[in-house]
Amino acid sequence: MIEYPIPSKDEYMAASKANRLLSEKSPYLLQHAFNPVHWYTWSEEAFAAARKEDKPVFLSVGYSTCHWCHVMAHESFESPDVAALMNQAFICIKVDREERPDIDQMYMSAAQAMTGRGGWPLTIIMTPEKKPFFAATYIPKTRRYGQAGMMEIIPRIKELWEKNRDELLGSADKILDYLKQTQSQPFVQAANLDGAFLARGYAALASIYDPQNAGFGTAPKFPTPHNLFFLLRHWHRSGDENALQMVEATLQAMRRGGIYDHVGFGFHRYSTDAEWLVPHFEKMLYDQALMAIAYTEGHQATGKEEYAKTAREILEYVLRDMTAPQGGFFSAEDADSEGEEGKFYVWRAEELKETLDKEEFKLFIRLFDVQNFEKGGNILRRRSALSDCASVLKISELDLDERLEKIRAKLFAVREKRVHPFKDDKILTDWNGLMIAALAKAAQALPEAKYATAAMKAADFILKEMQTTEGRLLHRYRGEAGIFANLDDYVFLIWGLIDLYETVFDVKYLKAALQLNLIMMRHFWDKDQGGFFFSADDGEALLLRKKEFHDGAIPSGNSIALLCLLRLMHLCKETEWEERAWDLARSFAAAGGRPLGHSMLLCSLDYALGPASEIALLGSLQDAGIIEMLQALRSRYLPNKSVVLVCGEEIGEMAPFTKNLARLEGKTTAYVCTDHVCSLPATSPKEMIQLLEKTR
């Protein structure tokens, strides 16, 4: 007989005070399970209650590692006074933006339309029919610096709902009409999406480059690695050294700045200033993935070890701290520790002196510009490149690096004893797809076999645990998989699977990418205007189906879809994918077609415009000749290539163009194919590279 433990009195009392969020999987929702606010999840139950009680809906969107979400929660959602007003005036709904990016996207667009700004926490007040009429981000509890607080706003909106409802409903209808108009665009030809368009994209990006601090724009300054991806491709296409200089300056400035964790590795989410000094301390999985790709590509383009070292450090952080036993990757780490932002990461001068011996401390303060943080600690920022420091100190760079590593290890050991920031341990398909791509690219370029192993383990986990029996993807895993996948889940995972195939040449990953691409085309493609909707055709009916082209901190799903369609076409010679890719490009042109803010789509257009090459290698991974050819390919920056390993019959079924290719005199052989025409066979890395260079 199985005996079930009886809850203790404390557990029973705690559970009795919980709201509806207690049974959720989301760490963010669980953080609010004991608020006095009567939270609902996003559900028909909530909207039915709003209709029945004739109340507007208060929607609060955030995520578990969001600092200002914590601030608003502590000030307002944990306050009995605020909660009483909210419960009286509204039906209140909590949404984890990482679990439901479809809801977040839609209402963030509404907030930006209404207020000109966005961010989290996102606060939306809407009708029971889900039409928004009020939007804000963080709201203080009471009036502060001229901003109205919750204690004032709630009674005012309650009064308007009861006495001036027609005004609110009219406003809601206008906002919805505006959002629908921005979604609906005529289908136009994309004749202007050519090399000149790429050049305009470069000029637009160069116009917002910060020559003093590197990076783009002013404070707050985000890493936005896809800007660097495009600049590298522009340099590769045009030979413009200024583009490469901007990339290198930005990679170096970010690596030296406070936005980088010099002790435990990895990048914080963004810098609050233009100098990359004071970060917003949370760490997101997607940033680690995209930054690892940027530094890996920087290494391939320049051959500089400093970029390879940074990529390895980022991945060391992910494999050490952000990897689930099953193989997937966790979502994020919080900015806060013990209720204070950045406390885990900053150092008091006394701590540094106590941890390091006299000579180490002397060297450390020469290497690092220790800046006073507003909360009393010190943020670590390296003064200059290690090569420059070594020259000044008159020691070798290797010697300096070894000394610095001993110092770092000491600081890391001390820091590990601190209270760690909260870790959001849910596994998201889209962000895992990005990390699989990053690990695969690093496994090729650096090279490190452990990166390929980690990428395969993560891909196998997702394909096994986060797919339905019909092959549809699920978005989130935390003990169990759930929530139907969105466009980003499909395209980012396809991206990772293609890179993983080109790393280990296991055809199951290419086959999975092709199958997911078919599902994506079936359920997300806009048959009328082209491009991909963010949500599936059989998903939950929201106010409208969003179609996103603009890049944010993460590239848009449509920009990656364009790249994946082209890559699959080049790998498998399926011309339908190329036709769909250009339909997608025309949809982008119809949506406005401005290059700034679309760096990843520019990368994909660079691939589409060519020249792009397919390299078919005939042999096995155990052949010394194949190994040498792969090393030659992977040590170079060749962004617009596809590589197929012809070994066995299965790959011939997926890539028919390889069926009639034969080894030359029984030797390891490579065929370089461009514009649907394959070259004469090459039997050495040198010959293969010469053929590739002729296509440029």
Nearest CA among 656, 665, 595, 531 for reference residue 230: 595
**Which SS3 state, helix, strand or coil, does residue 122 take?**
strand
Nearest CA among 510, 618, 650 for reference residue 570: 510
Of 80 and 576, the structure prediction assigns the larger pLDDT to 80
Whether 504 has a pLDDT exceeding 70, the answer reads yes
Concatenating the DSSP letter of every residue in 210-239 gives -TTT-SBSSSSB---HHHHHHHHHHHHHH-
The answer to whether position 233 is within a domain reads no
Whether 180 has a pLDDT exceeding 50, the answer reads yes
Burial profile 410-449: b = 16 or more Cβ within 10 angstroms, e = fewer: bbeebbeeeeebbbbbbbbbbbbbbbbbbbbbbbbbbebe
CB atoms inside a 10 Å sphere around CB 80: 10
Tell me what pLDDT residue 574 has.
Answer: 79
pLDDT tens by residue, 45-100: 999 999 999 999 999 999 999 999 999 999 999 999 999 999 999 999 999 999 99
The answer to whether position 22 is within a domain reads yes
User: Residue 621 and residue 645: Cα distance in Å, rounded?
Assistant: 8
pLDDT tens by residue, 670-688: 999 987 788 889 999 999 9
Q: How confident is the model at residue 383 (pLDDT cuts 50, 70, 90)?
A: confident
User: Residue 675 and residue 210: Cα distance in Å, rounded?
Assistant: 39
Nearest CA among 105, 118, 197, 112 for reference residue 599: 197
User: Residue 498 and residue 655: Cα distance in Å, rounded?
Assistant: 13
Whether residue 220 is preceded by a cis peptide bond, meaning omega within 30 degrees of 0, is yes
Query: What's the token pair of residue 260?
Result: 């980088």
pLDDT tens by residue, 154-176: 999 999 999 999 999 999 999 98
What's at 420, amino acid-wise? H
Helices (H), 164-218: 165-183, 195-207
Whether 10 has a pLDDT exceeding 60, the answer reads no
Number of compact structural domains in the chain: 3
Q: What residues contact 619, with CB distance under 8 A and at least 6 apart?
A: 625, 626, 645, 646, 647, 663, 668, 669
Whether 7 has a pLDDT exceeding 50, the answer reads no
pLDDT tens by residue, 351-379: 999 999 999 999 998 899 876 555 568 89
CB atoms inside a 10 Å sphere around CB 392: 11
Tell me what pLDDT residue 324 has.
Answer: 97
Q: What residues contact 132, with CB distance under 8 A and at least 6 apart?
A: 107, 110, 111, 114, 124, 125, 126, 172, 175, 176
CB atoms inside a 10 Å sphere around CB 528: 9
CB atoms inside a 10 Å sphere around CB 4: 5
The answer to whether position 59 is within a domain reads yes
Task: Name 643's bridge partners.
Answer: 615
Q: How confident is the model at residue 1 (pLDDT cuts 50, 70, 90)?
A: very low
User: Residue 466 and residue 493: Cα distance in Å, rounded?
Assistant: 11
Q: Taking each helix axis as running N to C, give the angle between helix 624-634 and helix 429-445, from 0 to 180 degrees, rounded to the nearest 10.
A: 110
Contact 172, 126 (CB under 8 A): yes
Contact 83, 77 (CB under 8 A): yes
Does an H or E element contain 685, and which? helix 685-694
Number of helices (H), then strands (E), in the chain: 27, 20
Tell me what pLDDT residue 308 has.
Answer: 97
Instruction: Report phi then psi at 496, rounded to 5.
Output: -60, -40
Contact 117, 111 (CB under 8 A): yes
Contact 640, 646 (CB under 8 A): no
User: Residue 265 and residue 249: Cα distance in Å, rounded?
Assistant: 20
State the average pLDDT over residues 148-156.
95
Whether 407 has a pLDDT exceeding 70, the answer reads yes
What's at 354, amino acid-wise? E
Contact 608, 582 (CB under 8 A): yes
Contact 371, 378 (CB under 8 A): yes
User: Residue 586 and residue 558: Cα distance in Å, rounded?
Assistant: 12
Domain range for residue 669?
613-694
Tell me what pLDDT residue 591 has.
Answer: 66
Whether 186 has a pLDDT exceeding 70, the answer reads no
The answer to whether position 321 is within a domain reads no
> What is the DSSP-derived secondary structure letter of residue 21?
G
What's at 588, amino acid-wise? F
Tell me what pLDDT residue 372 has.
Answer: 58
User: Residue 670 and residue 159: Cα distance in Å, rounded?
Assistant: 74
Task: Name 61's bridge partners.
Answer: 95, 122
State the average pLDDT over residues 268-278.
95
Query: What's the token pair of residue 600?
Result: 């990843």
The answer to whether position 384 is within a domain reads yes
Nearest CA among 639, 562, 550 for reference residue 229: 639
Tell me what pLDDT residue 189 has.
Answer: 45
Concatenating the DSSP letter of every residue in 471-493 gives S-BEEEESSSEEEE--HHHHHHH
Does an H or E element contain 39, and which? strand 39-40
The answer to whether position 168 is within a domain reads yes
List the CATH number of the domain containing 674: 3.40.30.10
Considering the chain, what is the average pLDDT of its residues? 92
Q: How many residues in the chain?
A: 696
**Among 12-21, 75-84, 464-473, 537-546, the least confident range:** 12-21
User: Residue 75 and residue 141: Cα distance in Å, rounded?
Assistant: 6
Biggest CA–CA distance in the chain, Å, is 88
Whether 187 has a pLDDT exceeding 60, the answer reads no
Query: What's the token pair of residue 243?
Result: 């583009």
The answer to whether position 169 is within a domain reads yes
Task: Name 618's bridge partners.
Answer: 646, 669
pLDDT tens by residue, 410-464: 999 999 999 999 999 999 999 999 999 999 999 999 999 999 999 999 999 999 9
Contact 95, 104 (CB under 8 A): yes
| Cα dihedral 146→150→154→157 (10° resolution) | 40
The answer to whether position 562 is within a domain reads no
User: Residue 319 and residue 452: Cα distance in Å, rounded?
Assistant: 12
Q: What percent of the chain clears pLDDT 90, i.e. is strictly above it?
A: 77
User: Residue 252 and residue 570: Cα distance in Å, rounded?
Assistant: 34
> What is the DSSP-derived secondary structure letter of residue 44?
H
